[in-house]
Structure 1
């Protein structure tokens, strides 16, 4: 019971730390630009929502009287996903948006999900390019540049 509670509190703290990383990363992005939502709006909204859910998880872990569960908690996949997201968000300023997103999608599809089919391999490149076209070309949002663009 106590072990489960500590796992939930550790998970809540890890997500709260991730939210702080998002807030720090978004501090230089405009929340509003030219009368429309700017590039800082989405990271701030995600960070605030993540902080709220982290607080809710921590609160339920502290208030819960029976923290014991009948099934073991699978924490490796969410931890891998969070580590991949955090690592790629930190790399984004060094290698650029597209390269970091190729790495992130590759880690999630090929590493975490262990998918090796043709659609997954194509998605590793197609998803970041689609996001780049959506944000940089269509919405005119400035994305982090790097040696790879």
Structure 2
């Protein structure tokens, strides 16, 4: 049994139950469209389920170490040194780089708007922090923010920050 995972799973599950109770007090659907309680109900339900899964899995024996079978991609081989768990090592530097990116991107959200800021953030995370300079990463930098904007603005009808230039979904 892994005690830390069990305790964390129970805590996450309890936080999810509390959030679910609060979320169910809001309208989940209003007039056939998702209401203000829709997303909180989804997230809190996910917390309950994932917390329960983590607690359940922690009750088993300590798992065997899982390693990749087959060839390792060039990107993974080049950045294998970044996966250390040393307190002051590269994992801390990557975490700090991600947090610095968030700190810079929050003010940009109101200047550039949601879509362009998300594109800049994804480009920073994929190209700089993770070092994944592939065509798939470049496509993700364009497609993911546009898809998220479309989901929130059109399907869920939630206004996202347009920025001071009001440039629209792709900034054009």
TM-score of the superposed pair, with normalisation by structure 2: 0.47
Structure 2: which 5+ runs fail to align? 68-82, 86-90, 167-172
Q: For the residues of structure 2 that align with 1:57 and 1:109, how far apart are their CA atoms?
A: 28
Name the count of aligned residue pairs: 129
Aligned to 1:70, the other structure's residue is in SS state coil
Could you say which structure has the greater relative contact order, defined with CA pairs below 8 angstroms and 6 or more residues apart?
A: 1
Where does residue 117 of structure 1 map in the other structure?
134
1:95-119 Cα offsets, whole Å, 9 max, x none, are 5643564366446644675421133
Mapping of residues 1-149 of structure 1, within 5 Å: 4-6=2-4, 8-9=5-6, 12=9, 30-38=27-35, 40-61=37-58, 63-64=59-60, 66-67=61-62, 69-71=63-65, 95=110, 97-98=114-115, 101-102=118-119, 105-106=122-123, 109-110=126-127, 114-136=131-153, 138-139=154-155, 141-145=157-161, 147=163
Q: For the residues of structure 2 that align with 1:14 and 1:106, how far apart are their CA atoms?
A: 34
Distance of aligned partners of 1:60 and 1:44 in 2 relative to their CA distance in 1, 3 Å threshold: same
Structure with greater Cα Rg? 2
Contact 1:16 1:51 in 2 (8 A): yes
Aligned Cα root-mean-square deviation (Å): 4.7
Aligned to 1:71, the other structure's residue is in SS state coil
Contact 2:152 2:160 in 1 (8 A): no
Structure 1: which 5+ runs fail to align? none
Contact 1:39 1:142 in 2 (8 A): no
